[in-house]
A and B are shown apart, each in its own frame.
Chain A
Amino acid sequence: MAKAVFNRSLIHRIQAAVVVHDADTKVIVCNSKAQELLGLTEEQMLGKAAMNPDWKFLGADGERLSLEKYPVNQAVFTQQPLRDFTIGIFRPNKSDVVWVLVNADPVLDDKGKIQQVIVTFMDITDLKQAEEALRESEEKLVRAEKLAILGKLAGVLGHEIKAPLGVIKHSLEFLKVRLDQDVDAKIGEHLNLMHAKLNTMDKTIDDVLDFARTKKLELMTVDPGNLVEYLLRDIPIPANIRIVPDLGRNLPCIAVDERQIQQVFRNIIANAIDAMIDGGTLTVSTGKQLSDNAGHEFVTISFRDTGEGISPDHVKKIFEPLFSTKVKGTGLGLVACENVIHAHGGSIEVSSELGKGSTFIVKFPIKEN
């Protein structure tokens, strides 16, 4: 009896979390640290098997952990110790995830049959968050390097291609003037074709140059509802697309470079139209949102289409320079949009479901009086 009390006292004093399961994976012992990390009381945990739906874990990749991957189940199945397995724990009534490093040791009897599984785990949330911050800063660095290279490339395009393009175009125009009097219709057709294609090339180069240029913001205070309303009034929309404005009134004003932001919205709308090849509905909404972190308030402008949607893999990459889901996309449009929005202190995010459509939400800080 004294030994059992001693063991219980010892287990509860250990700073690592300890949970002991029986052969059916039911919890028979759990110490204070385990209760703290799992967000459950001893009464709530004792007798609970691994398959109980109250346990909610994430894998290291952030995806929901399948039942067979639960540490206790792995140890039961393999009858081998599990070492340094990372999982995230969803605790009841808490929004944040606790990340832990888990070890699980099966205790076998003389015949090699499982008697117990001792699971120990340590809180590595701070470490995980530091790793995440490092990963994010590395991604930002890679992105900045990509943008710098694109900037240089744009410079080369501007000087080394646009100038000769001008020569070719003017040379062609000279031929058209000279041949205009009695030109063969077919020759005229080909000259016009070359002229049109040169203009297309010129436009593509301008798009790259536009992307690479850092433009100074000319901020003015605007009503978000009016901003969107004016835009929707003069944007060409194909007949098979329905635009549904859902504009909140009396929203706080925002400080934006109207010309640049209208270009951003035009780009987002053009993408939405491209995604609805067989027609559909684009709902443009404005609203107000309280941010999660510092408590700042934002005005949101969202564009929800009923198009083909974007796969989760592509959603992750959608703001990467040179990434495009379109056959003829340059992969610069959304990056340029994001740059402009960030320059305003805002943000852009996307959610999408294949076959159902995508929603782009742009947030701007509310202008303080």
Chain B
Amino acid sequence: MAKNSKILVVDDDADTLTVLTDLLIEHGYDVVTAANGVEGLKKAKKEKPDLALVDTRLPKMDGYEVCRQIKEMKGLDAGVIMFTAYGDAVNIEKAREVGADDFLAKTEDFANMHRAIKKLLGRR
């Protein structure tokens, strides 16, 4: 049986973590979560996820820095999708600069989110 892809979700909002975890598990993924930027990096190093969903606004370390460090982490080749309530051009540009593969609004339909996840995992 093929191993499930592992997704790290980093968000300080517990409800967002719950609902995304349930949806991702329902769609056949393994999920690990972190509630702040520092914890997100630790989990990335330890769990070696195939993909990370990272909120832009996080306590302790913001999402852009988390993204940048995940992308530079040795021995890890994870796609990063940043998601936020502030989907404007400035934030999208900032996400691109730190190496994010995609940028989604928090209210994006899960179908679109899933499409983006599958696209990134398919590249690996």
CB of A46 to closest CB in B, whole Å: 70
Q: Is A169 an interface residue (CB 8 A)?
A: yes
A174: contacting residue among B19, B86, B109, CB under 8 A? B19
- Asked whether A159 and B88 contact (CB < 8 A) given A167-B13, A167-B16, A171-B19, the answer is no
For chain B, residues 2 to 48, give those with C-beta under 8 angstroms from any C-beta of chain A.
13, 15-16, 19-20, 22-23, 26-27
Give Cα A166 to B20, complex, Å: 10
User: CB-CB contacts of B83-118 with A at 8 A, as 1s and 0s?
Assistant: 001101100000000000000011111110000000
Contacts A170-B19, A177-B26, A178-B26 given; does A165 touch B107 at CB 8 Å: yes
A interface, by DSSP: helix, strand, loop or mixed?
helix
Contact status B110-A173, CB under 8 Å: yes
Is B16 a contact of A166 with CB atoms below 8 Å? Answer: yes
Q: How far is the CA of A177 from the CA of B22 in the complex (A)?
A: 11
Q: Contacts A164-B15, A167-B13 given: A158-B86 contact, CB under 8 Å?
A: yes
With beta carbons under 8 angstroms apart, the residue of B88, B105, B107, B109 that contacts A213 is: B88
A162 at the interface (CB under 8 A from B): yes
Contact A163 B88 (CB under 8 A): no
In chain A, residues 145-193, which have Cβ atoms closer than 8 Å to a Cβ of chain B?
Answer: 158-159, 162-167, 169-171, 173-174, 177-178
Give Cα A167 to B55, complex, Å: 13
**Residue A328 is within 8 A (CB to CB) of chain B in the complex:** no
Number of interface residues of A (CB under 8 A): 21
Q: Bound state CA distance, A178 and B22, in angstroms? A: 10
CA gap between A349 and B123 in the complex, in Å: 52
Q: Which of chain A's residues have a CB closer than 8 A to the CB of B108?
A: 166
Given known A-B contacts A164-B15, A174-B26, A178-B26, A158 and B85 have beta carbons under 8 A apart: yes
A233 within 8 A of B: no
Does chain B have a CB within 8 A of A24? no
Q: Which residues of B contact A159 (CB under 8 A)?
A: 57, 85-86
> Residues on B close to A: CB < 8 A?
13, 15-16, 19-20, 22-23, 26-27, 57, 85-86, 88-89, 105-111
5 more contacts with CB within 8 A, not counting A167-B13, A167-B16, are A163-B85, A166-B85, A167-B15, A171-B19, A173-B111
